[in-house]
Amino acid sequence: MANDADPVSADTRFFGHPRGLATLFFTEMWERFSYYGMRAILILFMTDQIAKGGLGFNDAKAGSVYGLYTAMVYLMCLGGGWVADRITGQRRAVLAGGLFIVAGEFCLVAPGLAFFYGGLVLLIFGTGLLKGNVSTIVGQLYRKGDPRRDSGFSIFYMGINLGALIAPILCSYVGEKINWRLGFGVAGIGMLVGLVQYVLSGKYLGDAGLRPAGTGDVDLDRSQRQNAIRGVGIGLGVCALLAVLAATGAISLSVTAISDGLGWGLLAIAAAVFGWMIFSHGWTLEERKRSAAILVLFIASALFWASFEQAGSSLNLFAERSTDRMVLGWEFPAGWFQFVQPIFVVVLAPVFAWLWLALNRRKTEPSSPAKFAIGLVWAGLAFAILVPASKMAVGGAQVAIWWLTGTYFLQTLGELCLSPVGLSAMTKLAPERAGGFVMGIWFLSTSIGNWLAGKAGSLYSSMPLPTLFGSVAAFSFATAVVLALLIKPTVKLMSGVK
């Protein structure tokens, strides 16, 4: 039971976990509701005709915006984590992030391209401030060595997928059947509910995430904080300047150009980060070896998400244009496919948790890189089955819903081999004083994956679908083979971490 001296870690009021976990569970559930609800209709809204309330973008442009937006959202988690560490603490960052998200979704409800792009920018900042930091607070609910930590994260992962599951049902229905913009409104209302809940039940979090991380040296903390505030100011200033220059026509920035530039930017950031982690003598030899292992997992993870996150881009278009969605004389919204995958997660996550444990007992549990390789095989199969499906759809025919359902099922098997495993591998491989930063690197791999998924979406109408889907499958299989060859050396580099 909770006691006054140690209100958080002795607390067992939420399924044996601290009551604060419920606060964070529902905050993240509503945040993901808002994110996935919005994402379910984003590309469909952009590619729909203006007369029907869409934006009238072609597939290439819509794919670029989709890739740019989803990649920036996760890239900003790096910035959001840093702001929380240095300036605000996680709790205030999450609150601010939630407010930005509500404002962003409501901007999307308003007509006009300025509101559309402005809304996306607010959503990028908001999610960046919220998503990573809410997970960090989860970690702070438990003392070091508390055996409940891993299962706490599994419960939290359920919250993520519960939000992702409900959202497309509501937002796609409202968006596709009534009005696109109202669909974004529903996403905004969800985040608002989550935010009210977060504020009202914030008291259960004790002092987790209340203050920025300190070094113990007051003067150093103060100067780091001032530098960070200056850094944020400069960053925002540059963004504002670019926006003004673009709005007044002084520079011409096409979305496609920005999106292409970001791809190179992401690679440059990754190269710089790993160059530093692997070659700088500021780290011990063991830390540098582990960073090399993180790099292997990082590349595999980016390529995994590149196929997985096409759920919102190319697969969403395939659902809309080439899948027969008639049930009992009614055509269900294309975005409804977006809840298939989270349902599989909710059902299969406990099965996987049991499976790893059972294999562990027999001493046959695969290592993390081996699980990643298996995950990539599932990801490849998910796209391989779409090759015959898309061949059947050539010429405008519509295929049965089972194809995409099968794809999402296989993708989930892959996700469960890779995503939770990756999260925990990052926490174990990270040098002690760089835990938050390494978590940010994990989000960076997701960011690159999302960017690639957008690129694949922009090829949707310029490349024959069997070729597009077949290439994605071939890429995944090839990565799996290379990774399988690297399992042994990578495990060695991990020096003792399973």
Name residues contacting ligand PHE, limited to 403-432 (CB under 6 A).
Answer: 419
Backbone angles phi, psi at 54, to 5 degrees: -85, -170
136 binds ligand PHE (CB under 6 A): no
Residues for the chain: how many in total? 498
Name residues contacting ligand PHE, limited to 238-297 (CB under 6 A).
Answer: none
Q: Is residue 424 packed enough to be buried (19+ CB in 10 Å), middle (13-18) or exposed (0-12)? A: middle
Three-class secondary structure of residue 111 per DSSP: coil
Q: Is residue 288 packed enough to be buried (19+ CB in 10 Å), middle (13-18) or exposed (0-12)? A: middle
Answer for which of 32, 61, 86, 148 binds ligand PHE (CB under 6 A) is 32
**Measured CA distances, 133 to 250, 436, 440, 461 (Å):** 37, 9, 10, 38
SS (H, E, C) 384-431: HCHHHHHHHCCCCCCECHHHHHHHHHHHHHHHHHHHHHHHHHHHHHCC
DSSP 8-state secondary structure symbol assigned to residue 323: B
In angstroms, give the least distance from the CB of 59 to ligand PHE: 24
Contact characters 61-100, ligand PHE, x per CB under 6 A: -------------x--------------------------
Q: Which residues, listed in sequence order, are joined to residue 323 by a DSSP beta bridge?
A: 399
d(CA 37, CA 180): 11
In angstroms, give the least distance from the CB of 38 to ligand PHE: 13
Give which of 188, 159, 65, 85 is closest to 129, Cα–Cα: 85
In angstroms, give the least distance from the CB of 343 to ligand PHE: 13
443 binds ligand PHE (CB under 6 A): yes
Nearer to ligand PHE, 198 or 443 (CB): 443
Run of H or E including 331? strand 330-331
Task: Give the HSE-up count for residue 158: Cα atoms under 13 Å, Cβ half-sphere.
Answer: 14
In angstroms, give the least distance from the CB of 160 to ligand PHE: 5
Run of H or E including 330? strand 330-331
Nearer to ligand PHE, 74 or 106 (CB): 74
d(CA 250, CA 394): 44
Nearer to ligand PHE, 368 or 419 (CB): 419
Nearer to ligand PHE, 323 or 446 (CB): 446
In angstroms, give the least distance from the CB of 168 to ligand PHE: 13
Residue 260, amino acid = D
Interior angle at CA 312, CA 482 and CA 175, nearest 5:
175
In angstroms, give the least distance from the CB of 46 to ligand PHE: 21
446 binds ligand PHE (CB under 6 A): yes
Nearer to ligand PHE, 277 or 345 (CB): 345
Nearer to ligand PHE, 32 or 371 (CB): 32
In angstroms, give the least distance from the CB of 148 to ligand PHE: 21
34 binds ligand PHE (CB under 6 A): no
Nearer to ligand PHE, 76 or 160 (CB): 160
Question: Which sign, positive or negative, has the C-alpha torsion 107, 108, 112, 118?
Answer: positive
310 binds ligand PHE (CB under 6 A): no
In angstroms, give the least distance from the CB of 245 to ligand PHE: 32
Nearer to ligand PHE, 32 or 86 (CB): 32
Contact between 339 and 483 under an 8 Å Cβ cutoff? The reply is no
Nearer to ligand PHE, 115 or 336 (CB): 336
Q: How many chain residues bind ligand PHE (CB under 6 A)?
A: 6
Answer for which of 22, 160, 205, 374 binds ligand PHE (CB under 6 A) is 160
Q: Which residue is nearest to ligand PHE (CB)?
A: 446
Residue 255, amino acid = V
Nearer to ligand PHE, 316 or 419 (CB): 419
State the residues that interact with ligand PHE by CB under 6 A.
32, 74, 160, 419, 443, 446
